[in-house]
Amino acid sequence: MQQGEPKTVRLDDYQVPPFIIEATQLHVDITEQVTRVSATLEIKRNPQDAAASRPLQLDGGKALVTRKLAIDGRELMSNEYNIEGETLFITDPPEQFTLTSLVEIKPQENLALEGLYRSGDMFCSQCEAEGFRNITWYMDRPDVMAPFETTIVADKGNFPVLLSNGNAVARGEQGDRHWVTWRDPFKKPAYLFALVAGDLDYVEDEFVTMSGRKIVLQIFTESHNIDKVDFAMVSLKHSMAWDEKFYGREYDLDIFMIVAVESFNMGAMENKGLNVFNTSCVLARPDTTTDAGYQRVESVIAHEYFHNWSGNRVTCRDWFQLSLKEGFTVFRDQQFSAFMGSAAVSRMNDVSALRTAQFPEDAGPMAHSIRPDAYMEINNFYTATVYEKGAEVVRMISTLIGAQGFRKGTDLYFERHDGQAVTTDDFVTAMEDANGVDLNQFRRWYSQAGTPQLSVVGTYHADRQCYQLTVRQTCPPTPGQTEKAPFHLPLAVGLLGSEGQDLVFGLAGSEPAFIEQQPDLFTMVLSVTESEQVFELVNVSEPPVPSLLRGFSAPVKLEFAYSRDELMFLMSHDNDGFNRWEASQRLAVDIILEGVEQIQDGKPLAIDSRLFKAMELNLADALNRDQDASIDKAMIANMMVLPSETYLAELFEVADIDAIHQAREQVACEIATCLKGPLLRVYKMNDQQGEYIASAEAIASRSLRNAALAYLMKPVDTELVSLCAAQFNKASNMTDTSAAIRALVNSSNTAAQTVKHKALVEFYNRWADEALVIDQWFAIQASCPLPGALARVKALMQHPAFDMKNPNRMRSLLASFASQNTVNFHLLDGSGYAFLADCVIELDSFNPQIAARMLTPLTRWRKLDGTRQALMKSQLQKILDAGDLSRDVFEVVTKSL
């Protein structure tokens, strides 16, 4: 924990390391009481260091107990080195030498879960970003790369499985203990080191690469979970094949291993050859895992595998470049998900996540560019901005230069920088050099924070058959950046004629960035570079309805004065699947915001019937699916879902939490009442019988059916409560089970009260031994918007199954309440804020990383009314006054205040 204000690390202060490590040998001796780590480092002075006189500086956590330090076999005296806090200095080492250290650590006491720690009965590691220093003294920075050889020694009864990076090259036994040596020939930074020791089962398969090499694939987990890893193995093989086909990237080691861990701060970690996963991202079985869970497993497996090249073979020079690997790899896993399922629905999910998590981040006190300028604690910058917005920036490059040009750029990037630690600028330069383009202005996306606002006006000139688009871009001030220069962004445009057809048109005066033309689709990508720009689209034979920002071609907020009739037209006719959904969202937003104004004015809600008509048309499409196989049920299901309260709040300068919740609930209830018949028909038509299938088609049917159920449970209708209870009782998969129990729990219908309590007891008793299912049980109750949520959450914290030290359990309860239950978290008495602040203070004493992430809802106080602002700020101040805060929490609190 910190005393005083932590040091700020700045990008401008970057210096190359004064020394480089040419080889790393580790000997890790694990016992129940203490773990001894011997490190042998082959070190030489860095010839690129201009100063050539700086001391050797090694990083180490406070828990390290240093037993020995030696240079070239000679043990150092205490006056030959100095330990200051978490840094070891050796002031005058030789130009080239071997440094040996011996330290003792106690992983079983490491509750921060950074470095080597205990999860259940196994030992495992998490070293990104700066966890390796909690294992041994090292130059723990990403631009120090070395091959590793690791020997692990442990009791063979308690820890029969010993794993680390690379290939196993030797093993042996001595009495009750055994050892395994792993060698990773590829240079890597310390953050990619991994170690696992435990009593684990595994499944094994193989993958034959495009060059004919056979790769052994193994997924390890505790024995009670071994029946849940088959889907992960299938997903891994799909990922490997996809990366070869679309990026030409072949796996390089002889073995690829995944280990599932129950206590894990993150989702997963791409350690070279030995990925360590949160169980929530690798375990899947129909009766315990929802469709969303299956899709998450598929996506995260792919993401971590793709890192083998975009993150491991080529890594980031410093942590300011984090988006170099994460933004690029998120984009790659998004491409993979689109390939494996519905491309339109995948894009809808990407954008929903961006708007819900990243847009508020851009508007808050922690706003930062995808390549930040400074930080106190790097763990605070594993953010939606670095990941999701970073992916959007990479996507824009691909959009501007086209898919073939992007592939040329990535080929050059991997060829040029294999085995190096590089910067985002190196990535962009590879794109420029491979395609002969200038992306200098585009680089502003890496240095400027905030969400640009794009205002577009369209005018049709019949005499010239020209449709004129006037585009204006602005970007609001963010902390430390009051003025923003214009961005370079791609604006993908289609024009729809009166029959709903895509018109083919040209561009006057310049060349478009890119044109996509298919039989029913014509999209032109315009290159927007100025604060105000006029584009003349020519050969437009009739007044069009513009389809703007197709595929969400840039991460901006788009303003265009669509009429509600035009939105309905786009919902029915736009050949761009994303923009059909976007039109449905815009129509719903328009009508809900109108409802908020009516509530604020004390008027009864008058809901525009066009929303019901639009929903009815969607349901009619769903009912006609048997006659028209081109209808995408998954897209219809997404179009039925109203915008979230979190997203709606972001559309206001000052959000009226209560009015937003009331308006959205009333609109949903009216939809359910007016469209009960077609909703019920869609529900019954998509009742799946037989064995669970995780195919895109089957997932779409379940999604549509459960979207209908959520609406049907809105009005007070005893018959429908029975329908929902029957689904809960008969469901053969967790998707339908959890949808039914969520609908029951969220229902204010008196008839549902007895049923819901019985269902909650049955659900818990049935799945008490399945940790991930019980996480859902906690989350469903914590996110219930009915009154009394805080009391329910506090009671659940006393439940025997709740463990504050388990990140998954903590997220399932606390994050579900504070981030997904806006109407109850933001109660006017401030009780929700006080509760969260108390939890953060307690969490910070043992797991700062999770504490800082849980704190996020309190940082959004500027969006609310004066009363709530004062209450939230007082709780932030209470956290600050608690003293002895971690760097993680201190940074978030001080920037928020």
H helical segments located in 442-520: 444-447
CB 113 within 8 A of CB 269: no
Tell me which residue of 215, 217, 221 sits closest to 204, measured CA to CA.
217
**b/e for 580-610, b at 16 or more Cβ within 10 A?**
bbbbbbbbbbbbbbbbbebbeeeeebebeee
Q: What is the DSSP letter of 386?
A: I
Helix (H, G, I), strand (E, B) or coil at 188: strand
| Cα distance between residue 636 and residue 622, in whole Å | 7
Tell me which residue of 845, 839, 843, 875 sits closest to 859, measured CA to CA.
875
H helical segments located in 78-148: none
Q: Which member of 114, 128, 304, 582 is catalytic?
A: 304
The two structure tokens encoding residue 69: 């330090």
Q: What is the DSSP string of 367-383?
A: ---SS-SEES-GGGG-S
Tell me which residue of 104, 744, 660, 632 sits closest to 348, measured CA to CA.
632
Q: What is the DSSP letter of 289?
A: -
Helix (H, G, I), strand (E, B) or coil at 182: strand
The identity of residue 573, as a single letter, is: H
| Cα distance between residue 632 and residue 142, in whole Å | 44
CB 634 within 8 A of CB 342: yes
| Cα distance between residue 771 and residue 262, in whole Å | 8
Residues 6+ apart with CB under 8 A from 891: 6, 375, 376, 377, 380, 852
| Cα distance between residue 529 and residue 445, in whole Å | 12
Q: Tell the burial category of 74 from Cβ atoms under 10 Å away from its Cβ (0-12, 13-18, 19+).
A: exposed
| Cα distance between residue 73 and residue 98, in whole Å | 8
Q: What is the DSSP letter of 138?
A: B
Q: What is the DSSP string of 529-581?
A: -SSEEEEEEE---SPPEEEESTT--SSSEEE----HHHHHHHHHH-SSHHHHH
The two structure tokens encoding residue 104: 């003792």
| 301 phi, psi to nearest 5 deg | -55, -45
Give the per-residue SS3 of 228-286: HCHHHHHHHHHHHHHHHHHHCCCCCCCEEEEEEECCCCCCEECCCCEEEEEHHHCCCCC
Residues 6+ apart with CB under 8 A from 263: 113, 117, 119, 120, 805, 806, 807, 808
CB 823 within 8 A of CB 785: yes
Annotated catalytic residue 304: yes
Task: Find how far residue 134's CA is from the centre of its chain.
Answer: 26
| Cα distance between residue 745 and residue 134, in whole Å | 44
Helix (H, G, I), strand (E, B) or coil at 691: coil
Residues 6+ apart with CB under 8 A from 674: 612
The two structure tokens encoding residue 732: 């053969």
Catalytic annotation, residues: 304
